[in-house]
Chain A
Amino acid sequence: MPDADPDHDTALARRAAAGDTAALDQVLGNHMALVHGVCRRVLGNADDALDATQEALLAIARKIGTFDGRSKFSTWAYRVATNAALDEARRRNRRPVPTDDVAESARAPDRASLDTGVADRLDVDAALEQLPPEYRAAVALRDLVGMDYAEIADVLGIPAGTVRSRISRGRAALADLLGNRETSSEHQTP
């Protein structure tokens, strides 16, 4: 969830729109980690995520003058970030074909040589990779950014019911993969 106070963000964004670069730097700093997180979740790849994050930050900085304050700055900024990530995904043509049986197709990484944190990240990426980027975006906006369904529907331009379905699919994919790992670990235990 974003830590920044929405009203404070809006004030900073207005100052930034008026040319205050210190305010711009501050408001970007407030949201940068989550912007990167959304890009990482949508793209599932560290390098692509960095490219998308840079594009998103540049777009936010350049378009800050168009922010009118009618919506929350975070909603506006994550819309820009999500679009940047989805554009990057389309450019790289890495959209996977969704599958109903994620557990069967999930590729479990070789966790023997990885610490738990890295394994978890890879698991998340591997699980979400089974979903189209638009599904991953819904999951990221809900679980990472903390938007409610209505905000996500607004950002993605889809009905709230579709948002619910996409979030469910994303979580289910990860739950299945995590369940497989636990099962696999149990099997490896003597």
Chain B
Amino acid sequence: MNDTAPPLEPEELDELLSAELDSELDAVARERHVPTETLVARIRATPGAAERRAALAAARDVLAETPDFDDLVSARIRAKAVRAAEAEQTARRKARARRRNRVFTGAIGIAAAAVVAVAIAASLSGHGNHTVAASAPESPRRTAAHPAATGSSLVVPPNAPAPEARLGTFTSLRLLALAAVDESATHKYSVSGTSSGRVPSALGSGGASAALPANSASRDQDGLSQKTAPAFTGNGKALPTCSAPSRAPTGDPLVFTTSATYQGQPVVVFVFEGTRARTVEIVDRACRVLNVQSIG
């Protein structure tokens, strides 16, 4: 006990007494680097310290009383808070769902774009330079698939391969030549739309039908001179870009170009118009002449 301890100022006394009431006097002593006993001695040395301690304790007790809170108001506020939390959770769930949907949609879009890109790349690499012929099988397939729409009366045998060309599918070079001549009578260059001497995208140029006269099947080979080209060996369906002869071997000019399927293979048909007859030249996908006929 230190009898010579100086008394405390009122504010410092309140602070030390308040800390003492909260058992925090040791912490104050540590903070001030003095023994707790020194602080206790100074408190005791201050006049009226005991009465002030009692007053502060009374104030603490009053402050510890919980203010009145109406039960009804309390319940209302609590219910409102719970509803707010539910709304918050709902909003968060919706936001999460929206984010998920965005991600999912984005992924689908990217995947679709990738599929398209791969398909285009595969198409380009698979057909190389035959870009004109690449689309060739598509158009006739459409034409043949909807013969009514094109006015076609071509009858395709049940066991015949799928139609591949505008003029139709043939198993006879003669019938094919006759069909080409009939077609050329009304569609001189109207199908190809070109006279450049190149085989046009005949299979995709549209507009012409694969119409075959109803009586064409009854024609015979009378009046026809037929020359059979070497056997067709190609397996592909696409037509190459063949250079069309501007004139037939007889010197007649080219008036019509079209396409057809012969024995399951795509062929290009050239029709040359002479003064007394028309010459039909049929070439395969390798631009090899399969057949040349003269039809009067």
* Chain A positions near chain B (C-beta within 8 angstroms): 16, 19, 21, 24-25, 28-29, 32-34, 36-37, 40-41, 49-50, 53-54, 57-58, 60-62, 64-65, 100, 120-121, 123-124, 127, 139-140, 142-144, 148-149, 160-161, 164-165, 167-176, 178-179
Contacts and interface: CB of A to CB of B under 8 A. Distances in A.
Of residues B78, B85, B92, which shows the largest number of chain A Cβ atoms within 10 Å of its Cβ?
A: B85
Contacts of B77: 32, 50, 53-54, 57
B84 A164 contact: no
Interface in B3-28: 11, 14-15, 17-19, 22, 24, 27-28
Contacts of B14: 168-169, 171-172
A176 B62 CA distance: 13
B19 A168 contact: yes
B18 A57 contact: no
B85 A62 contact: yes
A50 B73 contact: yes
Given A34-B66, A143-B63, 7 more contacts: A121-B68, A144-B63, A149-B22, A168-B11, A170-B59, A171-B59, A179-B55
Interface string B48-84: 0000100110111011111111000110011011101
Contact of A170 (B63, B73, B89): B63
Interface of B: 11, 14-15, 17-19, 22, 24, 27-28, 31, 52, 55-56, 58-60, 62-69, 73-74, 77-78, 80-82, 84-86, 88-89, 92
Given A64-B85, A144-B64, A144-B66, A164 B18 contact: yes
A122 B275 CA distance: 126
Nearest to B67: A40
A168 B81 contact: no
Of residues B59, B69, B92, which shows the largest number of chain A Cβ atoms within 10 Å of its Cβ?
A: B59
20 contacts: A24-B81, A36-B67, A40-B67, A41-B63, A57-B80, A58-B84, A61-B84, A61-B85, A62-B85, A62-B88, A65-B89, A140-B63, A143-B63, A149-B22, A164-B15, A164-B24, A171-B18, A173-B59, A174-B59, A174-B63
A160 B26 CA distance: 13
Determine the main DSSP class of B at the interface with A: helix
A179 B73 CA distance: 34
A61 B18 contact: no
A142 B59 CA distance: 12
Contact of B81 (A33, A60, A100, A164): A60
Nearest to B78: A28
Nearest to B88: A62
Contacts of A32: 69, 74, 77-78
A126 to B, nearest CB: 12
Nearest to B54: A175
Contacts of A168: 11, 14-15, 17-19, 56
Nearest to A100: B11
B63 A164 contact: no
A139 B65 CA distance: 12
B73 A142 contact: no
B33 to A, nearest CB: 13
B63 A16 contact: no
A171 B63 contact: yes
Contacts of A144: 63-64, 66
Contact of A24 (B67, B74, B82): B82
A161 B281 CA distance: 109
* Closest 10 pairs between A and B when the two form their complex, measured CB to CB: A143-B63, A61-B85, A174-B59, A175-B55, A168-B18, A57-B81, A61-B81, A175-B59, A168-B15, A40-B67
B67 A37 contact: yes
A164 B62 CA distance: 18
Given A64-B85, A143-B63, A144-B66, A160 B80 contact: no
Given A36-B74, A124-B62, A161 B82 contact: no
B22 A21 contact: no
Nearest to B93: A19
